[in-house]
Amino acid sequence: MRRGRIPTAALSLTACVAVGACEGDGPALPQRLALDSVFNALDTDADGVLTAADFVEEGRTHRINGEELNAAAARDWYFEQCDADEDGQITRQEFYRCLS
């Protein structure tokens, strides 16, 4: 007699969320949610990509690796680290990749 089974997909999703190690596209889910909130905060014009236009707010400071950076310095840091194809835009995938 067979016992009821939990579908494998549901089981593995639960397990991987619990340990923060989901396989697949990009970082683990908890980390992805954290990165998403950072990305959304940086994407001030909410067009879904980070461009120089998202870093023009004067007086805004960014905390990166424990350092306070002004908008221009933060822009330079993000583009140096994250704009893998150097097209002047940081997509969500590029952002995940460089900060994971």
Pick between residue 21 and residue 72 the one whose CB is nearest to Ca ion. Answer: 72
* Cα–Cα distance, 81 to 98 (Å, whole number): 6
* Cα–Cα distance, 76 to 74 (Å, whole number): 5
Pick between residue 31 and residue 51 the one whose CB is nearest to Ca ion. Answer: 51
The string of DSSP codes covering 40-82 is HHH-TT-SSSB-GGGG--TT-EEEETTEEEEHHHHHHHHHHHH
Pick between residue 30 and residue 97 the one whose CB is nearest to Ca ion. Answer: 97
Task: Give the nearest distance from C-beta 54 to Ca ion in angstroms.
Answer: 4
Out of 45, 57, 67, 80, the residue judged to bind Ca ion by CB under 5 A: 45
Scan residues 52-91 and list those touching Ca ion (CB under 5 A): 54, 83, 85, 87, 89
